[in-house]
Amino acid sequence: MNITIFGHGHLASAVGKNFSESGNQVSYVTHENDARIGDLAVLAVPYSAIKDIVKRYSRQLAGKIVVDATNPINFQNWTLTVPADSSSAAETAKLLPESKVLKAFNTVTAASLTDGKLANGAAPQVLVAGDDEAAKQSLAKSLAESPLEIVDVGVLARARDLESLGMIELSMAANKKLPLSGGFLLVK
């Protein structure tokens, strides 16, 4: 599958590494370059950059799977910056009505994605929310050869919960209560 990743930071590199390990073709889009958009695009950028990306690439993203990996956090007071009844992914879906928007990668640190394991040695779990079942299955299939475990948590409305979980994880890491390779794990 052709994967396009918006961003050039640690998260973008870590996500791209896992797609590459699964045999996908990965390209990166930054503010310095343009690229043809693949079958699946990952927004691994600060939340504040999404509107500019959508403005610039909305036609190219139509019909594509768009994965919102952001955590819309105000780091001054550790609160979410989206409306209380919404999420970054829901806001992105409003801006891209012709795309299949998913929420994923925001509850796993870049360090865990890069290492392919959590501090305890367990496989990182990528929690995925979205309304399009085929899009979620495509995401899981495109990562099947990576060390990641993909967990479908339900509809896109669950993205708000994932963003809250991501905020808790990041605040714990920032306060040194959780290592950067730590995280939450669903025990089955």
Q: In the predicted model, what is the mean pLDDT of residues 66-83?
A: 92
Q: What is the pTM of this model?
A: 0.94
Residue 75 neighbours by CB under 8 Å, 6+ apart: none
Percent pLDDT > 70 in the chain is 98
pLDDT band at 157 (very low <50, low <70, confident <90, very high): very high
Asked whether 9 and 17 are in contact (CB, 8 A), the reply is: no
Burial 71-108, CB ≥16 within 10 A → b, else e: bbbeeeeeebebeeebbbbbbbbebbeebbbbbbbbbb
Identify residue 39 by its one-letter amino acid code: D
Q: Is the pLDDT of residue 32 over 90?
A: no
Identify the bridge partners of residue 75 per DSSP, sorted by sequence position.
Answer: none
Length of the chain: 188
CA dist 31 and 173 (Å) reads 28
State the pLDDT at residue 132: 98
Q: In the predicted model, what is the mean pLDDT of residues 68-96?
A: 93
For 128-139, what is each residue's pLDDT tens digit? 999 999 999 999
State the pLDDT at residue 40: 98
State the pLDDT at residue 183: 85
